[in-house]
Amino acid sequence: MKKLLMLLTCLMVCGVSFAQNIYKITGKIVDEKAVPVPFAIVRVLNFPDTSLVKSVSSNQDGLYEINQLKSGSYLLSVSVVGYKAKKTERFSLNADLKMSDINIESLTKQLKEVSISGKKPFIEHQIDKTVLNVENSITATGGTALEVLEKAPGVQIDRQSDQIKLNNKSGVLVMIDGKTNFLSGADVTALLSNMSAEQISTIELITNPSSKYDAAGNAGIINIKLKRNKAYGTNGTVSFNGGQGIMPNSPTDLYRGGINLNLNHREGKWNIFGNGAVARKSNFNNTYLNRTTLSNGLASYLTQNFNRQNKGVGFQGKLGADYYASEKTVFGVMLDANTIKTKLTNFSNTNISAVQNGATNLSSILQDALSTSPIGNLTANFNIKHDFDKNGKSLTFDVDYSGFSNEKQENFLANYLNASGDATNQTSLRNTTDAKINVYAAKTDLTLPLSKTMKIETGLKSSYVVTNNDFLSEQFLSGIWQNDFGKSNYFVYKENINAAYANFSKEWKVWQVQVGLRAEHTHSNGNSVTDNKEVDRNYLSLFPTAFLSHKITENHNIRYSYSRRVDRPNYQQLNPFVFYMDPLAVDQGNPYLKPQFTDNFEINYSYKQASLSLGYSDTRDMITQISQQNDATRVISVIRQNLGRFQNFSAGIYVPIKIAKWWNLQNNASIYYSKFEDGNLEGAAYSAGKAAVNLYSSSSFTLPQNFSVEINFWLNTPRVSGVERTTVTQYAINAGIQKSMLNKQLKLRLNMDDIFLTNYWAGSLIYQNVNMNVTNRYTSRRANFNISYSFGNQNVKSARSRNTATDDIKNRAGGS
């Protein structure tokens, strides 16, 4: 490690000696109405031979920047679908140059006369993030957001604890269109399972966010951007998808389907946009578990088999509008609502072999369970953006409200049998959960350029959360339902977070630096009204960030980054209620959980499109899942605790290869080493460490007659997480084919996930008196079909995207 750091430092220092007099060109592309034109291709051409020197794309605001140019005579060429191409007059470059706005004229011809030859790869590695272009992926067709994430390099989906991990670290902040969804744990995975890939444009993986972002999410941020239409006038996309799970020993009802509609209308000063979706899903899950207990010479061997089928229908809708009051000021409103109603049927069979003094006693428990769970979320946003000048000085303001509700009804019927199969006892229980969460938040951000190469960003944010969770557990005794006072609980949680941040950035010819500091003051109060337990916390935390980038040459770049981040317990993890799963398993919250803090360090070296990265993170008070077993009653309890220290070492390499004009190959390999330490975990010192590997490879083939094919492969080796160990290598091969018609406005896609049925999870938990092994199989193999049709001009101007004020807190609302 030291040798590698010395080598990188040497490269960085030596690069200064190679620096030469190079300059940059900046400017803006606008249309005939002086409205910015995004995604325009700006090419620098030599004069007089017009040979290509470099090309870039304008950003969302029509701005472009072209670096690393030598002195000389040039001209610019601008092109974008829907507009006439334009070339500037010749100019000389011997210093940094700010061009006048380049006006381009829109075409009146139909879009069908224009052909598009470029296609973004599924994975793009950018300097500060990794981008998944879901919109262009064939193998993502018919899938869900969760299944797309499972194919992303560096992402692992832990289906045992319902965690999404990034670079082998849990604590990921999941955002949708710049705002975090209102769930966490099992509920956020349920929502992503209900979100169709046809709704998604791109997914951004940000491992080291700047101070401008909320400090939540010690592993980083996953930002899911939904599709937006991009043109003046009225336009949109409609799509239908269907799929069928193909699994052995499972129900035949594993089909799913959905319809998605995106619409956009832009005229004059108004831009109105909306989308809606309805989806039906069905999944099957089989879990096999065995464990042992020992109490007063009685040794018990338990084997449990759970068969769960989850079916449901979800609806999602969004409506928003932007009003361009002037060239500098924009007002926006947005309303987003979604609801999911699922029905979970669960049958479990528990066999118990009890041995004492050489005598064996056999018994079993058969349980039928039914759960219905309607979940609803409503988010409203009002925002303002004002640009003071054309140099980038701007002010934004957002105010938000988010409401979340979860009403769950569960029924359990357990029959106890002896060795002969005769019934010895029967219990009937039911649980009712009524959870209501309200979030109020506001934030403002100021961008203040000090010069062409230097700027300051600063902002304020305040959020207030109130959650009410009423959990009622009842037993059917003596012919009536009676309250189980040992389990029923009413829990109220309130939290206020006030934050301020400042970023300073400076650019030189080959250097870029950014430093920032975020301060967050947190006051939280968790009150178990039933148990009369109250936990009040009041603390101030500082989160520094630092980024340094060195462009050694045109093709060589080194980037260093550091950030400190936090993960606060989600609201359900703090709720001390005891949640019944079956007669021998319960789940319990912990009101005394502390937040976990992480220091992240990264070094990234890139050569052209290839890159090499090294990372280290140090997490204190890691929030983890622990199992406690009562040997006398054989009951196992799943709880959350803080584990002293978690260190993660990582190295990754990304290499894209263009094998032929029609064949592109992307390869990503990462290796991690995780180390866990605690001086007193469940009454003993704990230390564990293990290396793990993540591999990803994807091939895309462009064939005649507008056919294209994708084949990808991913693999995760066994790993350790807290006291839990994965004992099998998980991997899958996915393939898909696409046919484009009607000038690529109509697309037909067919694909299959996990062709060889190799994606399943198996693990063990062996610590203190717990000795347990688990195998979990789920609906990983599925055939999917999708048809989509785009109408209107899809390639000009999009509605602006924005972050809202509730980014850091919604993700903690749910729980398993």
Of the ranges 42-56, 79-93, 344-358, 385-399, the best mean pLDDT one: 344-358
User: Is-contact 491 576, C-beta < 8 A?
Assistant: yes
Residue 692: pLDDT above 80? Answer: yes
Residues facing 517 on adjacent strands: 502, 544
Over the stretch 412-421, which tens digit does the pLDDT of each residue have?
999 999 999 9
pLDDT band at 120 (very low <50, low <70, confident <90, very high): low
Which residues are CB-neighbours of 488 under 8 A, at least 6 positions away?
471, 472, 473, 474, 530, 577
What single-letter DSSP state applies at residue 756?
A: T
* Cα–Cα distance, 300 to 631 (Å, whole number): 9
Cis (ω within 30 of 0) for the bond into 248? no
Helix (H, G, I), strand (E, B) or coil at 192: helix
Q: What is the pLDDT of residues 694-734, one digit of tens each?
A: 999 989 899 999 899 999 999 999 999 999 999 999 999 99
**Which 3 state secondary structure label does DSSP give 21?**
coil
SS3 for 4? helix
Strand partners, 695: 669, 715
3-12 — which CB contacts under 8 Å span 24+ positions? Answer: 4/614, 5/603, 8/558, 8/603, 8/605, 11/552, 11/556, 11/558, 11/605, 12/550, 12/552, 12/558
Question: What's the pLDDT score for residue 175?
Answer: 73
Residues contacting residue 333 through CB under 8 Å, at least 6 positions apart: 320, 321, 380, 381, 382, 383
Residue 191, pLDDT score: 62
Is residue 58 classed exposed, middle or buried when 0-12, 13-18 and 19+ CB atoms within 10 A define those classes? Answer: buried
Strand 130-132 relative to strand 578-582, pairing: unpaired
Per-residue pLDDT reduced to its tens digit, 566-612: 988 887 788 887 778 889 998 888 889 999 999 999 998 988 878 89
Q: Give me 761's structure tokens.
A: 């999870």
Task: Check: pTM over 0.85? Answer yes or no.
Answer: no
C-alpha torsion sign, points 556, 617, 802, 375: positive
**Ramachandran category for residue 571: left, alpha or beta (phi over 0 → left; psi -120 to 50 → alpha):** alpha
Overall fold of domain 123-812: Maltoporin; Chain A (2.40.170)
* DSSP secondary structure letters along 620-675: EEEEEEEEEEETTTTEEEEEEEEEEEEEEEEEEEEEEEEEETTEEEEEEEEEEEEE
Superfamily classification of domain 23-108: Immunoglobulins (2.60.40.10)
Return d(Cα 592, Cα 574) in angstroms, integer: 7
Q: Are 25 and 93 in contact (CB under 8 A)?
A: yes
**The token pair that represents 198 in the structure block:** 């046809």
Kindly write down the DSSP assignment for every residue of 321-359, as one continuous string.
EEEE-SSSEEEEEEEEEEEEEEEEEEEEEEEEEEEETTE
pLDDT for res 545:
93
Decide which of 86 and 500 is more confident: 500
Q: Which two tokens stand for residue 311?
A: 């079916």
Question: Within 13 Å and on the Cβ side, how many CA atoms surround 516?
Answer: 30
- Checking 754-757 for CB contacts under 8 A at 24+ apart, the result is 754/780, 754/781, 754/782, 755/781, 756/732, 757/247, 757/248, 757/781
CA atoms within 13 A on the CB side of 392: 17
pLDDT > 90: percent of the chain: 51
Encode pLDDT of 424-463 as tens digits.
999 999 999 999 999 999 999 999 999 988 999 999 999 9
For the chain, how long is the longest CA-to-CA vector? 98
Does an H or E element contain 157, and which?
strand 155-158
186-191 mean pLDDT: 61
Residue 36 pairs with which residues in a beta bridge? 30
Domain residue limits, the chain: 23-108, 123-812
**138-153: string of b/e by CB count within 10 Å (b at 16+)?**
bbbbbbbbbbbbbbbb
Instruction: Write the burial class of residue 339 (CB in 10 Å: 0-12 exposed, 13-18 middle, 19+ buried).
Output: middle
Higher per-residue pLDDT: 95 or 120: 95
| pLDDT over threshold 60, residue 637 | yes
Q: How many helices (H) and strands (E) does the chain have?
A: 4, 46
Instruction: Return the pLDDT at 172.
Output: 73
Percentage of the chain lying above the pLDDT 70 cut: 85
End-to-end CA distance of the chain: give it in Å, rounded.
40
| H/E element, 549 | strand 533-551
Contact 802, 458 (CB under 8 A): no
Cβ atoms of residues 596 and 567 within 8 Å: yes
| Confidence band, pLDDT 50/70/90 cuts, at residue 108 | very low
Q: Quote the CA–CA distance of 322 and 396 in Å, as a whole number.
A: 14
Tokens found for residue 735: 């393939």
Identity of residue 170: S
Q: For residue 305, what pLDDT band results from cuts at 50, 70 and 90? A: very high
Place of tokens 């866990």: 676
Residue of 601 and 227 predicted with greater confidence: 601
Which residues are CB-contacts of 132 (< 8 A; sequence separation ≥ 6)? 122, 123, 148, 152, 202, 203, 204, 205
Burial class (CB in 10 A: 0-12, 13-18, 19+), 635: middle
Arithmetic mean of pLDDT over the chain: 85
Contact between 622 and 646 under an 8 Å Cβ cutoff? The reply is yes
What DSSP character marks residue 62?
S
Mean local confidence (pLDDT), 26-33:
86
* Residues 723 and 688: beta-carbon distance below 8 Å: yes
pLDDT in tens, 514-572: 999 999 999 999 998 888 889 999 999 999 999 998 989 888 889 899 999 998 888 77
* Encoded tokens for 1: 């490690």
DSSP 352-390: EEEEETTEEEEEEEEEEEEEEEEEEEEEEEEEEEEE-ST
pLDDT of residue 84: 81
The model's confidence at residue 803, banded by pLDDT at 50, 70 and 90, is: low
pLDDT digits (tens, 9 = 90+) for 228-246: 554 557 888 899 999 999 9
Q: Which of the given ranges, 20-29, 105-114, 456-465, 528-537, has the highest pLDDT on average?
A: 456-465
What element of type H or E holds 187?
A: helix 186-194
pLDDT at 619 over 90: yes
**Strand-strand pairing, 578-582 and 556-567:** unpaired
**Percent of the chain that is helix, strand, coil (3-state, to 5):** 5, 65, 30
